[in-house]
């Protein structure tokens, strides 16, 4: 059988041509990077866990009427998605100060923010994804004012949904990043959540102990990343009950 055509390879995922026009297959790698790929590792099982968790969150979002690119999971590492035109922005929502906002403004990590803060970075690895303002986004034509209003509304709905899901399993959603894509419906365009939602793109802290259960475990050398992600998947009910044969993560279908 001919190998599928690779459309794009990123740091943690690969996109292949999909089976029908307007679809792609998104493959989750085990690679982890931080600080714009200055730090790299392969974390066995990470791709499988993120594929399953992203499926879980995106399916929930689709169900409550927040449109996403997710169609269905195909296997342990791959999901079928809608092909979108990615808006070149990282859309970040923060509930609690951590990471770059703490550094930039000198706010102690863990300080609750007065309201959810939405911010944008321009997706450009060579520039290190710099923070940009709405003025930049509109002036350079990356998105229109109407798009931005829709993007903020989408991001805040994702924040409420994800905060609730996480609260239900004893986790605080500190912040997260989404990407947004355009799809065309005849003459209309719609903006939908794209890329992935997983502990690679969120900060997740245990509500009681403050233990970090996200990619900061890797960024800051705090322990075993796959164990942290497995803990999140477990609390969400996505892991089978009787594992322990040492073959790595297996999933509830």
- Chain residues in the site for ligand TMP (CB under 6 A): 92, 98-101, 129, 175-177, 201-203
Name residue 26's beta-bridge partners. Answer: 15, 79
Q: How far is the CB of 68 from ligand TMP (least distance, A)?
A: 16
Helix (H, G, I), strand (E, B) or coil at 251: coil
Cβ nearer to ligand TMP, comparing 18 with 199: 199
60 burial class (0-12, 13-18, 19+ CB within 10 angstroms)? middle
Distance of closest approach, residue 159 Cβ to ligand TMP, in angstroms: 11
For 90-149, the DSSP string reads EEEEEEE--HHHHHHHTPPTTPEEEEEEEEEEE--GGGT--EE-HHHHHHTTSS-HHHHH
C-beta of 18 vs 97, nearer to ligand TMP: 97
Shortest distance (Å) from residue 243 CB to ligand TMP: 28
Q: How far is the CB of 185 from ligand TMP (least distance, A)?
A: 28
Q: State the nearest-atom distance from the C-beta of 173 to ligand TMP, in Å.
A: 9
- Rank residues 4 and 219 by Cβ distance to ligand TMP and give the closer one: 219
Nearest residue to ligand TMP, by Cβ distance, number only: 99
Q: Which is nearer to ligand TMP, 79 or 95 (CB)?
A: 95
Distance, in Å, from the CA atom of 215 to the CA atom of 8, rounded to the nearest integer, reads 23
| 39 or 190: CB nearest ligand TMP | 39
**Residues 27, 41: Cα–Cα separation, whole Å:** 17
């Amino acid at each position: 059988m001919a190998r599928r055509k690779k459309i794009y390879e990123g740091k943690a995922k690969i996109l292949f041509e999909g089976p029908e026009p307007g679809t792609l297959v998104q493959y989750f790698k085990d690679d982890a990077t931080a600080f714009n790929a200055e730090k790299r590792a392969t974390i066995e099982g990470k791709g499988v866990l993120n594929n399953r968790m992203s499926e879980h969150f995106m399916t929930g979002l689709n169900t409550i009427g927040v449109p996403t690119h997710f169609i269905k999971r195909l296997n342990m590492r791959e999901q079928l998605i809608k092909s979108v035109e990615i808006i070149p922005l990282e859309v970040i929502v923060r509930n609690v100060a951590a990471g770059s906002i703490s550094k930039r403004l000198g706010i102690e990590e863990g300080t609750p923010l007065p309201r959810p803060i939405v911010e944008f970075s321009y997706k450009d690895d060579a520039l290190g994804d710099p923070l940009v303002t709405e003025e930049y986004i509109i002036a350079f034509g990356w998105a229109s004012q109407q798009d931005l209003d829709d993007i903020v509304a989408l991001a805040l709905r994702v924040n409420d949904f994800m905060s609730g899901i996480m609260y239900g399993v004893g986790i605080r959603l500190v912040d997260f990043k989404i990407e947004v894509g355009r799809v065309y419906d005849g003459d209309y365009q719609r903006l939908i959540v794209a890329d992935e939602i997983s502990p690679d793109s969120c900060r997740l802290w245990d509500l009681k102990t403050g233990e970090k259960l996200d990619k900061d475990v890797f960024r800051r050398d705090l322990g075993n990343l796959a164990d942290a992600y497995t803990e999140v998947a477990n609390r969400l009910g996505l892991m089978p009950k009787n594992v322990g044969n040492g073959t790595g993560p297996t999933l509830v279908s």
